[in-house]
Amino acid sequence: MKKLSIILIVALSLVMLLSACGDTAEPTEEPMVEATMVPEVATEEPAAAEPTEVPATEVPVVPTEVPATEEPMATLTIWADDTRTPILLGLADDFLAEYNVELIVEDLGRVQDIRSQIIIAAPAGEGPDIYIGVHDWLGALVESGLVAPVDLGDKTDEFVQSNLDAFTFTDGNLYGLPYSSENLGFFYNTELVPEPPTTWDEVLEIGRTLQGEGLVEYAIAVATGPLYNALPIQTAFGGYIFGVDENGAWNADDVGLDSEGEIAAVTWMADAVAEGLMVETFDYETAHSLFETGQIPFLMAGPWALDRIRASEVPYAVADSFPDNGAPFLGVQGFMINPFSENVLLAQAFLTEFIATEELMQLLYETGLRPSSFKSVLAMTDDPDLKAMGTAGANAMPMPNIPEMGSVWSAADNGIALAVTGEQTPEEAMTDAAEQVRALIRGALVGMINLPGSYQDQAGCGAQWDPACPATGMEEGDDGLFTLTVQLAAGDYEFKVALDGDWTTNYGSDGAQDGPNYVLSLAADSTVTLTYDPATQLVEIVTE
């Protein structure tokens, strides 16, 4: 008996374990099953149910003609944040009644949290049809194939152009339906400073005077992440992050962190810190508390901070422009479509027919308290602070949506921090930061000189024309020349010179960027020694 009970326990726990597996598997199954099989279920179920079960007298009559009105034709799942979920849920009944499509809205918490979920769920086929996101995710999402283009059709004109631009990737496609934008505003304490300053030097001037009178501790403080939160200072001095090419697209090869303007801006900040007019640490809590308690007269903050600043009852106003007309970052939130969705067209139609309406955009504006991306709603914005922020952000720079931007944040923040603490001169700090960004963008293979070509499979590479294959990386000799020796079978081969493990910098047989391929014809199996001269960018071929 004892044994039996033990077996039972073991079996039970195993069953529990197995059912636990079943549980974890369940959410994975559901969306797929629903999405793919619903049309069949709708038609099959009545047929299957009727004959097998007790005759029709018992069963509540299932109308065979209209299963469509009973069972939704399809489902549309949206992942949203906690603020927008209730609004979207409000559409569910209308949507179901009118088009017989069930709308499921899942609340994933904060907008930022949606991204990490999408990159796991979407490839596994478990993602939603539509999700909310921020425009600067685009680069990575497009590169990973996790966002589908959106066609707004004739509604395009109803959106603010800068917001649409933010959701347009370098390939020219629009990848989202924007609903709100946000940028920093320049807050000033109206009790201490009646008129907002027009230049950054004036900011310090006013701070100096007030500090002398013992009214304030500092002139200004910057929240966590100075690249974002002090961008209006950097742009005012001519600093920039990435240059733009002739088409207006971001150019990741032009990193502006060590540009003259950027260094001037960081120097200005370092001097302000050294003089005791700017707080040395970049900390959100510090900056906001100091402003709310009147210990600093100026603050750069976004719409997200309006609630707490208003609650603190500090007398404040938002200036219509930043000193020296500095430009803040523009962040745009919007709806994006998962390309793995079974209902891409339906999702598109839902966005254009149900989301891109004045009524819904107004609701999104009211609950989110961010300037709307919809022209007519934006025009009706009545909040004076949001209006001022919008005016000040007229020249705002959309956060670059190329994937390379991911490499910039911590490098730039570190550089600025090192400069203001006096650890490095602004010039050293920002040059290092720019180098860090360049190294991260080019990847770990910086400095590699390679000869990608059609011979590489014989040199031990997994693929032909691979500029990062370690087997064909050239070695530097004492004379400054790079050499590579390979054993090749008879035949015709082509190759090129590529630097840093990718094709961005590559030289052809004329020694010029993107030049023609080198051609190598071998009559017999031979040992080939290739020598590259960095000065001429040419390769010398010696066959034995």
Partner 1 sequence: MPDRASPQTPKTKATSARASSSTITLPHLVRLAILIAMDASAVWILNRFFSLGYYPLAAATLLILIFVNIILLHRETYPIRWMLVGLVLMAMFTIYPIIFTTWVSFTNYGEGHLITKEQAIEQILKEKYLPETGKAYTWTAFKSPEGDYVLWLQNVDGDGFLAAPGESLTQPQPGESGVGEFDSKGIPETIEGYKRLNAILAATDQNLTQIQFGEIANSIQIRSPKEASELLPLYNYDLGQDAMISQETGAIYRNIRGTFSSQDGTQLRPGFVASIQFANFREFFVSPALRGPLLRIITWNFAFALFSLLLNFALGLAIAILFNDQNFPLKKLIRSLLIVPYTVPALLTILIWRGMLNPELGVISRGLENLFGWSPSWFTDQWWAKVAVLLINLWLSYPYFMLICSGALQSISQDYYAAAQVDGANIWQQFWQITLPLLLVAVGPLLIASFVFNFNNFNLIYIFNAGGPPMAGTPTPAGHTDILISYVYNLAFTASRGVNYGFAAAITIVIFFIVGAITLFQFRYTNMWEEVSENV
Region of 48 on the Ramachandran plot (φ > 0 left; ψ -120 to 50 alpha; else beta) = alpha
Q: CB atoms < 10 A from the CB of 144, how many?
A: 13
Per 3-state DSSP, the chain is made up of helix, strand and coil in percentages (nearest 5) of 45, 20, 35
Binding segment for partner 1 among 55-63, 323-331, 399-407, 528-536 (CB under 8 A)? Answer: 399-407
Q: Of residues 459-498, which lie at the interface with partner 1 (CB under 8 A)?
A: 462-468, 470, 496, 498
Nearest CA to 499 among 458, 532, 460, 454? Answer: 532
Nearer to partner 1, 414 or 543 (CB): 414
Question: Which of 180, 407, 450, 537: binder of partner 1 (CB under 8 A)?
Answer: 407
Residue 424 is a binding residue for partner 1 (CB under 8 A): yes
Please check whether residue 333 is in contact with residue 179, taking contact to mean a CB–CB distance below 8 angstroms.
yes
Binding segment for partner 1 among 104-112, 192-200, 373-381, 404-412 (CB under 8 A)? Answer: 404-412
The residue written with tokens 């930061």 in the block is: 433
Nearer to partner 1, 227 or 386 (CB): 227
Question: Which of 198, 312, 395, 517: binder of partner 1 (CB under 8 A)?
Answer: 517
We find the least distance from the C-beta atom of residue 414 to partner 1, in angstroms, to be 3
Binding segment for partner 1 among 44-52, 158-166, 379-387, 401-409 (CB under 8 A)? Answer: 401-409
Give the DSSP letter of residue 72.
-
Nearer to partner 1, 127 or 302 (CB): 127
**Which residues does residue 107 pair with via DSSP β-bridges, in sequence order?**
80
Sign of CA dihedral 412, 413, 416, 421: negative
Question: Which of 89, 215, 446, 481: binder of partner 1 (CB under 8 A)?
Answer: 446
Nearer to partner 1, 86 or 460 (CB): 460
Residue 290 is a binding residue for partner 1 (CB under 8 A): yes
Question: Which of 32, 215, 264, 538: binder of partner 1 (CB under 8 A)?
Answer: 32
d(CA 181, CA 381): 13
**Which residues does residue 205 pair with via DSSP β-bridges, in sequence order?**
none
Question: Which of 44, 53, 98, 457: binder of partner 1 (CB under 8 A)?
Answer: 98
Instruction: Write the binding mask 56 to 85 for partner 1: x where contact by CB under 8 A, - elsewhere.
Output: -----------------xx-----------
Nearer to partner 1, 108 or 346 (CB): 346
Q: Of residues 209-248, which lie at the interface with partner 1 (CB under 8 A)?
A: 217, 221
SS3 153: helix
Nearer to partner 1, 173 or 391 (CB): 173
Question: Which of 41, 92, 96, 417: binder of partner 1 (CB under 8 A)?
Answer: 417
Q: Of residues 166-195, which lie at the interface with partner 1 (CB under 8 A)?
A: 171
Q: Of residues 125-154, which lie at the interface with partner 1 (CB under 8 A)?
A: 125, 139-140, 142-146, 151, 153-154
Binding segment for partner 1 among 300-308, 382-390, 413-421, 480-488 (CB under 8 A)? Answer: 413-421
Nearer to partner 1, 95 or 179 (CB): 95
d(CA 15, CA 242): 57
Question: Which of 157, 285, 359, 544: binder of partner 1 (CB under 8 A)?
Answer: 285
Q: CB atoms < 10 A from the CB of 481, how many?
A: 15
Residue 309 is a binding residue for partner 1 (CB under 8 A): no
SS3 363: helix
d(CA 439, CA 429): 15
Nearer to partner 1, 270 or 319 (CB): 270
Tokens of 444: 């770990």
d(CA 313, CA 293): 9
Residue 206 is a binding residue for partner 1 (CB under 8 A): no
d(CA 211, CA 208): 5
Nearer to partner 1, 128 or 303 (CB): 128
Please check whether residue 74 is in contact with residue 35, taking contact to mean a CB–CB distance below 8 angstroms.
yes
We find the least distance from the C-beta atom of residue 371 to partner 1, in angstroms, to be 27
Q: Of residues 345-364, which lie at the interface with partner 1 (CB under 8 A)?
A: 345-346, 348-350, 352-353
Nearer to partner 1, 18 or 56 (CB): 18
- CA-based end-to-end distance of the chain: 85
Alpha helical stretches, state H, 252-381: 260-274, 284-292, 306-312, 344-350, 358-368, 375-379
**Which residues does residue 106 pair with via DSSP β-bridges, in sequence order?**
79
Alpha helical stretches, state H, 155-283: 161-166, 200-212, 226-229, 231-236, 260-274
Nearer to partner 1, 132 or 351 (CB): 351
Residue 157 is a binding residue for partner 1 (CB under 8 A): no
